[in-house]
Amino acid sequence: MKIATRYQLFILLLLFGLVSKQVLAAPYVITMSELDFSDFLPITGNCEMDLTGDVTDLPGSQMCISPESGTVAHYRIIAPKNTNFNIRINSRPAENSDGLTFTPVGKITSEVDDIDIVPGQTHVANSGLLGRIDIQFGGQVILSNAFAFRADQFHEIEMEALLTWSEVP
């Protein structure tokens, strides 16, 4: 009888330990997909990618030439359930006279929230019972300076620098 009781107590403590580690786990973000506008010409212009990945030139531009769709940025915050987070997605201004600006357009969603992204604004989203918040966006790219063409040239928008998040105290 004592062996069975000790065994049950051991199992109970083991299960409690596993559950408590998940409850106390620090929130983290995972990259589901990286932002990719596909190919565009090194000329001045602008184009936009919607949440389906469709890339279109804006009126008067012929910069985006790829027949393929782009890939929206998709990040997921994994956190304890029903936890509020401050989330901000910033625009990327032109750096070092490169003439490349990016303005995100997308959504922050969870099972309880559906928020349109306003660049530079802090949004509060709840992780819900599933313990996750999805951040998805395409956006608008503006190239105000033409580049000297090189076949190996590409420009990267560092999304990690544009995405900031923190747990609401």
Query: What type of residue is 96?
Result: N
- Please state the φ and ψ torsions of residue 12, each to the nearest 5 degrees: -60, -45
Contact call for residues 125 and 84 (beta carbons, < 8 A): yes
- The Cβ-side half-sphere exposure at 134, using a 13 Å CA radius, reads 16
- In the numeric block, the tokens 């009781």 are attached to 5
Domain boundaries defined on the chain: 26-167
pTM recorded for the entire structure: 0.76
41-87: pLDDT as tens digits:
777 788 888 999 988 777 777 777 777 788 999 999 999 999 999 99
128-138: pLDDT as tens digits:
999 999 999 99
Strand-pair partners of 134:
76, 109
Cα distances (Å, whole numbers) of residue 7 to 2, 11, 12, 45: 9, 6, 9, 70
- Continuous H helices in 67-122: none
Does domain 26-167 fall into CATH 3.30.420?
no
Contact call for residues 91 and 130 (beta carbons, < 8 A): no
Contact call for residues 109 and 115 (beta carbons, < 8 A): yes
74-109: pLDDT as tens digits:
999 999 999 999 999 999 887 777 777 889 999 999
Handedness of CA 48, 53, 108, 80 (dihedral sign): negative
- In the numeric block, the tokens 């306003």 are attached to 118
Query: What type of residue is 81?
Result: K
